[in-house]
Amino acid sequence: MIIIITNTNLNTGTETSARADKRAFDELRNLKIEAGVLERADGSAYLEMGGNKVLAAVYGPRELFVRRLMQPNRAVLRCKYNMAPFSVDDRKRPGPDRRSVEISKITSDALSPAVFLEKFPRSTIDVYIEVLEAEGGTRCAGITAASVALADAGIPMRDMVVACAAGKSDGNVVLDLSEVEDKEGEADLPIAMMPRTGEITLLQMDGDLTEEEFQQALDLAIGGCKKINEEQKKAIKNRYGE
């Protein structure tokens, strides 16, 4: 019988600083957004946030071949969230799993309110999100990148949806959880919003928060979204000018 053991120390390092990566409680990870990175797609965006590397592409509005999904008075917005097999430590088997199906659905729900779907009856707008490397918070990174790709595709929108998570790690309410904080933390609260109106279009939570902590986390996440939204706008301006 052969047992496989490893001799590495997976040092999470939370003992030296309040946060593993020495960020302040309300500090985002490094963020980089670029619009228009793909040739074939109608719109695209690449986003790096901490160790996350996410690519989003948009096709449409285009003809919808699946008749049963067709809406006579508006377009449907279909999202596909997918993780590359090499994006995580242990290879992920290709193809959809329950997690990616759920994230695809909530991404579609998060983006739909911002898009003027009623302008394109009987058609579809397809959003594809590919996670090339994952380091906690990929659903938020995906939504943020997808909005930039939608704008890059020239799809009329009320606002650019932006997403960010807050949560509780090591007893503290913190913004933008890293992979370690997400796995070992007490709570995770990803939200998406339309920053112009402040309307929240995605809200999930898992873990344990008191009412006060929830309010704190929600306010942190909203603040984070506003900062990320500035970067989204910059990415579009860099591509198309002021």
Binding residues for another protein (CB under 8 A): 1-8, 38-41, 44, 51, 53, 55, 57, 59, 62, 65, 80, 82, 84-91, 94-96, 126, 128, 130, 132-135
The closest alpha carbon to 110, from 87, 135, 82, 143, belongs to: 143
**Shortest distance, CB of residue 49 to another protein, whole angstroms?**
14
The residue among 134 and 143 lying less far from another protein, judged by its C-beta, is 134
Which C-beta is closer to another protein: that of 34 or that of 213? 34
Residue whose CB is less far from another protein, 87 or 216: 87
CB of 11 to another protein, least distance (A): 12
- Asked if 177 contacts 82 with a C-beta cutoff of 8 angstroms, the reply is no
**Of 161, 155, 167, 146, residue with least CA distance to 218:** 167
For residue 102, which amino acid is it?
E
If the CB atoms of residues 5 and 208 are measured against another protein, the closer one turns out to be: 5
Q: How far is the CB of 132 from another protein (least distance, A)?
A: 6
Measured from the CB atom, is 41 or 163 closer to another protein?
Answer: 41
Sheet architecture: strand order including 123-133 = 31-35, 43-49, 52-63, 123-133, 76-83
Rounded CA separation 63/30 (Å): 38
Distance between CA atoms of residues 190 and 150, nearest Å: 21
Nearest distance from residue 86's CB to another protein, in Å? 3
Cα gap 29→105, rounded to integer Å: 26
Quote the least distance from Cβ 177 to another protein, whole Å: 17
